[in-house]
Chain A
């Protein structure tokens, strides 16, 4: 069973005082920051692509998987948090989105596990 933060809290918290932590009051990241994030993203991508080339292959598949997954998650989080503003925006959005991701991860991973595609 997948567990996400319990809905009513998620929604309720977002409700009355959402105004406090979102919207026009907060500082938008500056364009410089955006560029910085983009550079980081580019660098992470480069790292990812690097694993494709022979030099790291002696690490073994398992290590490569781990590295790739970590890098992927980092990129994902950077885009979501900064470009999509989730870091600064209402918790409601975060919870809706995280609910979707967690649910998707939960059911599909269970499904693939039931198919035993992980080779175990």
Chain B
């Protein structure tokens, strides 16, 4: 535990980003802006965001191949592509991968990249913790997937109901990997939630009050609160499961008097907020994209915000709708049935506000817009089937059938994933300086949309016809043949669509060389993230941005006359920063987040195989924490703070927030003390205005 009172590093033109110094007096600090090391040790929220996104896409391919295996197996009755055992592993890992290793990190990618930019900040509150979250998530994901090679993947379904997930009924190590792997990924989410909430609360640009934040920032904030409170619940559940399996505890031991429903309650108390964790970021993205391509502001901004918050709150009161048939008793069923239904209200408000945003607009159907509108359409279908589950008597027919599978793919794939694909197309130029090819994008969208409906549409029928989920095969005379075949064909159409998306990335990248740059604002957009160069320079913004209203950037480009006519008053290029600023404080790269994250899977392997490995892992973690705590967040040897005012015309706050320096908090995670990267200097109101108003 040490404190760092030295001011952080600052840059001058042409200077190396970071100057070498040493950590622990032994290792020199990582340096450099290029090369793999600059990515491995980076603490830049944008690079971290990009890596989150890349990892999520990689896992999408893995989870998608798993899905294709499922569909191959089910294409015809009595299929024999996979054995029973393999099938169980594949569908479990498909669910786990898609939920925890695809959609969540994809949301984290957008959150990391965009949150600081949208609120006009320079980085997140704790850049090193941020890097730690990334590596920790990746460690958890890789750890989980190594189970394939170590005697079998988890095979208890993604919600791992006890006692089937216990040692007696699931004797392979698979469920140990599940419990420990999700635990590691959970740490990543929790740390990241604390980090991002602090960022939003504390680092907004001057004048950026909460109710001037873009809807995406709002939704991400709500999601981080959901994570903050939901992760501990699954943490406990997973601990209980691990202790049962590894140390012989009795939490789910029915013989000892335990009740298996305990697991279900804990899992779904987490699990239902989790599904809103999956969807709200996509809702946020759609709320950014639709206005831009409708050329109208978002309709009913306060309602969009409040309905998001309402969904966040109500999401805590509905978990037992996953347990309507598990014997919780008629009163509980009735209560949770009603609470579930009413979640349709705030969600409906969102849908209708998007439609109202489009109403009277000048809609441009770029790929990003197509995906967003597609997501509205597809999510609605999933939401409506959700309401038909909520009426609990009907759910006793539907639960654990393909009707449910249809529901959640429509909301998760049709809502979350499509929303995020929209985000990829929308912010790609911002992150990489070139657009994704529109023609390929549109073709890809239509292929995906058709494939998606071919795959999951028939599942409604299958489910109502009585096809159970998680079955390895079905009899030829069950009447499921036709629609299963259709669904399997559809899955490969989806695969083609996804493949086209990857192809598009390659093609667009190649074409981008030699093409003119896209400029800061290729879509004539509204958020602050467009007010700086593309790709975003390391320091984000050249100067403070003082925000005086919602959609500040847009209003600097356009004037609404008294007659309501919109006229241009400036080009984006004139308003946006060109990224040429120098002398900006930036956090320095660090080894330690990677080191600490590396220790976690070691501990986990050790718990499964050999406690010595756990010991080594613990040492790695301790060593990493030690290095971390004694490493100043910014390079200490570089400069005095006196030059800082001259070099930083916007009067950046320096290390003011650094009062406490590094300190430990809770579970041995050190809190960074490097809080100085915000542009926000004075309070939001009354403070001097950096950019004068005429």
Residues of chain A touching chain B, judged by Cβ–Cβ distance below 8 Å, are: 1-4, 6-8, 11-12, 14-17, 19, 92, 99-100, 103, 106-107, 111, 114-116
| Chain B: interface residue total (CB-CB under 8 A) | 32
A12 engages B320 (CB within 8 Å)? no
Q: Tell me if B339 counts as interface (CB < 8 A to partner A).
A: yes
Interface contact A92-B210, CB-CB below 8 Å:
no
Q: Is B489 an interface residue (CB 8 A)?
A: no
Q: Are the CB atoms of B320 and A103 closer together than 8 Å?
A: no
Dominant secondary structure at the B interface: helix
Name 5 interchain pairs, CB-CB below 8 A, sorted by A.
Answer: A3-B313, A12-B211, A15-B201, A115-B261, A115-B262
Q: Are A11 and B317 in contact (CB under 8 A)?
A: no
Which residue on chain B has the smallest CB distance to residue A112? B265
CB of B328 closer than 8 Å to a CB of A: yes
The complex places the Cα of A103 from the Cα of B211 at a distance, in Å, of 25
Give chain A residues whose Cβ lies under 8 Å from the Cβ of B233. Answer: 107
- A13 → chain B closest CB, angstroms: 10
The answer to whether A15 and B265 touch (CB under 8 A), given A1-B317, A2-B317, A7-B309, is no
A99 proximity list for chain B (CB < 8 A): 225, 229
Residue B314 is within 8 A (CB to CB) of chain A in the complex: yes
CA distance A88 to B526 in the complex (A): 40
The residue from A7, A12, A16 contacting B683, defined by CB atoms under 8 A apart: A16
Report if B329 contacts A (CB, 8 A).
Answer: yes
The residue of chain B having its C-beta at the shortest distance from the C-beta of A111 within the complex is B265
A8 touching B201, Cβ below 8 Å? no
**CB-CB nearest in chain A for B335:** A110
CB 8 Å contact bits of B89-104 with A (1 = contact, 0 = none): 0000000000000000
| Cross-chain contact A103 with B314 (CB below 8 angstroms) | no
Q: Contact between A16 and B316 (Cβ–Cβ < 8 Å)?
A: no
Assess the A8–B305 pair: CB atoms within 8 A.
yes
Bound form: Cα–Cα A1–B320 in Å? 12
Q: Which residue of A lies closest to B323 (CB)?
A: A114
Is B209 in contact with chain A by the CB < 8 A criterion? yes
Contacting residues, chain B, for A11 (C-beta < 8 A): 201, 210
Cβ contacts under 8 Å, A16 to chain B: 209, 683-686
Q: Would A114 and B316 count as touching, CB distance under 8 A?
A: no
Query: Taking A2-B316, A8-B305, A103-B316 as contacts, is the C-beta distance between A114 and B265 under 8 angstroms?
Result: yes
**Interface code B249-269, partner A: CB below 8 Å = 1, 0 otherwise?**
000000000010110011001
B332 at the interface (CB under 8 A from A): yes
Tell me, in angstroms, the Cα distance from A114 to B332 when the chains sit together: 6
If A7-B225, A92-B201, A100-B229 touch, whether A114 touches B209 (CB-CB below 8 Å) is no
Question: Number of contacts between A and B (CB, 8 Å)?
Answer: 63
What residues of B have a CB within 8 angstroms of the CB of A115 in the complex? 259, 261-262, 265
Distance, CA A7 to CA B228, complexed state (A): 14
Chain B's nearest CB lies how many Å from the CB of A39? Answer: 29
With most chain B CB atoms within 10 A of its CB, the pick from A16, A100, A107 is: A107
Pair B309/A114 contact, Cβ less than 8 Å: no
B541 vs chain A, min Cβ distance (A)? 21
* Cβ A106 vs Cβ B316 within 8 A: yes
Closest CB of chain B to A64's CB: distance in Å? 25
**How far, in angstroms, from A31 to B209 measured CA to CA in the complex?**
38
Contacting A at CB under 8 A, from B311-338, are 312-314, 316-317, 319-320, 328-329, 332
> Could you say which of A8, A103, A106 contacts B309, with CB atoms under 8 Å apart?
A8
Distance between Cα atoms of A11 and B312 in the complex (Å):
15
Q: In whole angstroms, how far apart are the Cα atoms of A19 and B687 in the complex?
A: 13
Q: Which residues of B are found within 8 Å of A15, using beta-carbon distances?
A: 201, 209-210, 683-684
Q: Which of these, B211, B306, B329, B339, contacts A114 with CB under 8 Å?
A: B329
By a CB distance below 8 angstroms, the chain B residues around A4 are 313
Q: Which residues of A contact B332 (CB under 8 A)?
A: 114
Determine the chain A residues whose CB is within 8 A of the CB of B328 once the complex forms: 114
Q: A8-B305, A12-B209 are in contact. List 17 more A-B contacts (CB 8 A).
A: A1-B314, A1-B317, A4-B313, A6-B309, A7-B225, A7-B312, A19-B683, A99-B225, A100-B229, A106-B316, A107-B269, A111-B266, A114-B265, A114-B332, A115-B259, A115-B262, A115-B265
CB proximity of B312 to chain A, nearest CB, Å:
8
A12:B210 contact, CB within 8 angstroms: yes
What 7 pairs across the A-B complex have the smallest Cβ distances?
A1-B317, A111-B265, A114-B332, A16-B685, A16-B684, A107-B269, A16-B683
C-alpha gap A117/B684 in the complex (Å): 50
Contact with B229, one of A3, A8, A17, A103 (Cβ below 8 angstroms): A103
Q: What A residues does B320 contact at CB under 8 A? A: 114
- Chain B contacts for A8, CB-based, 8 A: 210-211, 305-306, 309
Using a CB-CB cutoff of 8 Å, which residues 466-505 of chain B contact chain A?
A: none
| Neighbouring B residues of A103 by C-beta, 8 Å | 229, 316
Q: How far is the CB of B628 from chain A (nearest CB, A)?
A: 25
Q: B316, A1: Cβ atoms under 8 Å? A: yes
